[in-house]
Amino acid sequence: MPPRLPLIILLATTLCSAAALPDRGPVPVEKPETAQESQDAPVLKKKPSEKPAETPADKDKPGDATDKDANGDKTEEKAKETTTEKDEPVKAPEPVLTIEPESAVEHAACLADLKAIGATFHETDRIDDGKGCGIDKPLVLEAVLPGIKLAPEGTMRCETALELARWTREAVMPAAKAALEAEGPLTTINQASSYICRLRNNATTGKISEHARGNAVDIASFTFKSGKTIAIEPRDEDSTLNGAFQRAVTASGCLYFATVLDPGSDEAHEDHLHFDVMERKNGYRYCR
């Protein structure tokens, strides 16, 4: 055999072996797990809602006991407060009654008008009897008009005195002349009450009277020059001139006063006319 034949056979065998191998890359070799990779592996954690087991040491923590007691005390106090409010409702404070201050300018104007109409009076010291009773700028009325006295003299606010004088001049005197001219001129207006510290209708409970503020005057009767006195009494069915006179002066009273109560209004006013200058909303007047 020629010397080159073994070399040719070897080369052919090598090429055939290469052609028989599959067309793929190198086969990966599995590496052994290292210590570092073991540490980076994910670790399962407990759920947030899971409460760690309580140990005896945890039970004895002073902080836990304090918090529990504090919360318990607050809850108990809140329950007590709720029970107290439910069983014993808090009452609204009673209104504090005070003497209403009067405008110096308005008071001076009222005094000037009262002098101009011919009334006789004198000013007096401020009255404060407590519980809202009193008058900031009181006066004592002696004569309603020239020749017509107020008996007894009465303590009141200037506004009350001025309306009483106007009513007497513009309503009472014309009615007296028309109905009782034979009795002569009117000489006296007899009053049953002016300023007095009391509740309405002398009651033991209720609202304060307008008399206690100097806003009211009660008329009991009228006296004439002849000596005749016409008393205030129930006269709705009285067809005499006395009845006509009383009804006339009563009806006209509401033109001057905010409140007029006569014997027909209630039992407390069967023997007098109640007049007052109490202010109401929208100028409302109460006349009975």
Question: Could you report the per-residue pLDDT of 191-206, keeping only the tens digit for each?
Answer: 999 999 999 877 777 7
Tens-digit pLDDT profile for residues 113-126: 999 999 999 999 99
* Residue 52 lies inside a defined structural domain of this protein: no
Please compute the mean of the pLDDT values over residues 148-158 and round it to a whole number.
Answer: 98
Query: What mean pLDDT is reported for the chain?
Result: 80
Please compute the mean of the pLDDT values over residues 97-110 and round it to a whole number.
Answer: 94
pLDDT surpassing 50 at residue 281: yes
Specify the range with the lowest mean pLDDT, choosing from 90-104, 185-199, 266-280: 90-104
| Six-digit token string for 167 | 């009513």
Residue 129 Cα distances to 62, 126, 201, 207, 228, angstroms: 64, 10, 18, 16, 38
* Residue 149 lies inside a defined structural domain of this protein: yes
* Residue 38 lies inside a defined structural domain of this protein: no
Which residues fall within 8 angstroms of residue 210, CB to CB, at 6 or more apart? 200, 216, 259, 276, 277, 278
* Residue 267 lies inside a defined structural domain of this protein: yes
* Residue 248 lies inside a defined structural domain of this protein: yes
Task: Tally the domains of the chain.
Answer: 1
pLDDT classification of 98: cutoffs 50, 70, 90: confident
* Residue 36 lies inside a defined structural domain of this protein: no
Which pLDDT score is estimated for 277?
Answer: 97
Please tell me whether the overall predicted TM-score, pTM, comes out greater than 0.95 for this model: no
* Residue 144 lies inside a defined structural domain of this protein: yes
Higher pLDDT residue, 52 or 158? 158
pLDDT surpassing 50 at residue 166: yes
Which pLDDT score is estimated for 16?
Answer: 44
Which pLDDT score is estimated for 203?
Answer: 73
* Residue 218 lies inside a defined structural domain of this protein: yes
Strands (DSSP E) contained in 177-284 are: 186-193, 216-224, 229-231, 259-261, 273-276
**Closest of 190, 166, 188 to residue 110, by C-alpha:** 166
- The residue segments making up the domain with residue 151 are 104-287
pLDDT classification of 79: cutoffs 50, 70, 90: very low
